[in-house]
Structure 1
Amino acid sequence: MLKTRVITALALLAVLLPALWFAPLIWLGILIAVVVTLAAWEWWRMLFPANHKRAFSYAGLCLLSLSIWFMYASIDLIRLLLLLTAIFWIFLVPYLMRQSLNLDMTQWRWPLAISGLFIFPACWFALMHLRGGGLSLLLSVLVLVWAADIGAYFAGKAFGKHKLAIQLSPGKSIEGAVGGWVLVMSIAFVSVTVLDEMSLTSSNFFSLLLTNYGWLGLFGITSLCVVMSIEGDLFESQMKRIAGVKDSSALLPGHGGILDRIDALLPVLPVTALIATLFA
């Protein structure tokens, strides 16, 4: 299993890293469109575990939604899409998560399916806008999410005693979440002080926050992003447990599905991109 995970991870990096660094935006856009379409396919399979056949149609509909938004895209429309998606994650998802495994999916399947037609296009626009703002901007957002996950893992292993959401994800702890937050805040501090002074970074997300919102804004918004990355992970776990599946799919050998890899990014991307569009 470990060998499979490593091979899959290396293959993904071999595709992703050159696309981020060297590929024209159009090719990166095509790659991300494939990823979000596959994620939409998995989204339907989790929402309708007894009706997998229509997952392909739903994925196509999501791609069509992305195409329509793209055709009529203006900065104001993109901001609206990102705002609607941010509202979904900030207000609706916590309400659904409070119901844990008692969430009545007969009531929420179709609203969540419709929401997916906005969530995944918003993810595409967020990634493309962040990349368009510079590689440092996109990478700093990715590092924020990855650091929150890595810090939570190691802090949880070392200090975890109090469960964060035992029904949704028994392995996550409050201590782990705090550890992830500490690591992210440390990276943010180093990024806007040491690295910026040495001119080793430019136009990264943390610097953008400090420049436009000050230290309080940097602290508050970065903390919100850490919380939302955890929320994305837990919400997908909730959906999988209700659907009775271990992974969102088996598309990535040893890693599960696309949603298993990007669940923490889905809530963070629209928020960070929305902030970035305000200072475009």
Structure 2
Amino acid sequence: MSRTPSELLSTLNFTEYEEQALETLLMLGQTTAPDLSEATGIPKARIYGVLDSLADDGYIKVIPGRPKQYQPKAPAEILDRAIEAHRQEFETYRYELEGVREDFVDAFQPMYESASEEVTPTEELFYVVDVGEPSEEETRQLYRTADGQIDIITKSLEYLDAVEPTLASALDDGCEIRILFLHPRHLSADNEAVQQEIVDSLTGRYPAVEIRFSNGLLPWRGTIIDPSMDYDTGAAIVLVEEKDIPLHKRQAAVTENGSFVAGLERYFELLWTHESTTPDSLEESD
């Protein structure tokens, strides 16, 4: 297991006291509020409110008696309840947004149309985002909207943790995914170790993902989805390799221009077909 129990519970967005209480209950199985307060350090003045909140949300059971006992639900039930809670939150949020849709469009559409009249050809071709969380969110959005094909060019896919759930979802939805890594001979020892760990993780968890290694250096990296040689579909995010510029100062280009995406895909196909090595061949050369 790569994550600690506390890290796993933190993904469910509990308060600090709720997380401490639930984790301890899962270890103890069943206990009273005073005993749980002593075990966790949660003040006695707060423990009943924390337990009532967990019980009201369906994460624990309250067993009547003198004193009352508290027992956690099974881990799978806890996850199911968290999913349902967030689904309800989302539905409420969606309903609220739908309620303002007409007013929102009426207010902003004229502004948008007026500003769009001044868009330059470059802006129509692509827009830029900062590298880091902004570029990772754009990448996740590409995975979400992909209908059938995702091609990735990367050094090591070191951002896998940030995009893996969305990538896995795209795979479950039937997308074909190909990843072209930089050949390890072009990497430092540290980066080669990172790449090897990520490749091992991908091949172990997602055997349907195709992997190859580019023989030469890669001038850019990024993601291409649903390219078409008819130039009418597709989108991509591209980051040009700039060794002298710190990563936090770099920007990535995002495009939905079908012709530009088709050009990127031609480059990918040439490398994939003629200038790359399979994982098996890589192991043989080692």
Do both proteins adopt the same fold according to a TM-score greater than 0.5, normalized to the shorter chain?
no
Structure label with greater radius of gyration = 2
User: Quick check: which one's strand share is greater?
Assistant: 2
In the superposition, the TM-score normalised over structure 2's length comes to 0.25
In the superposition, the TM-score normalised over structure 1's length comes to 0.25
Give the structure, 1 or 2, with the largest relative contact order (CA under 8 Å, sep 6 or more).
Answer: 1
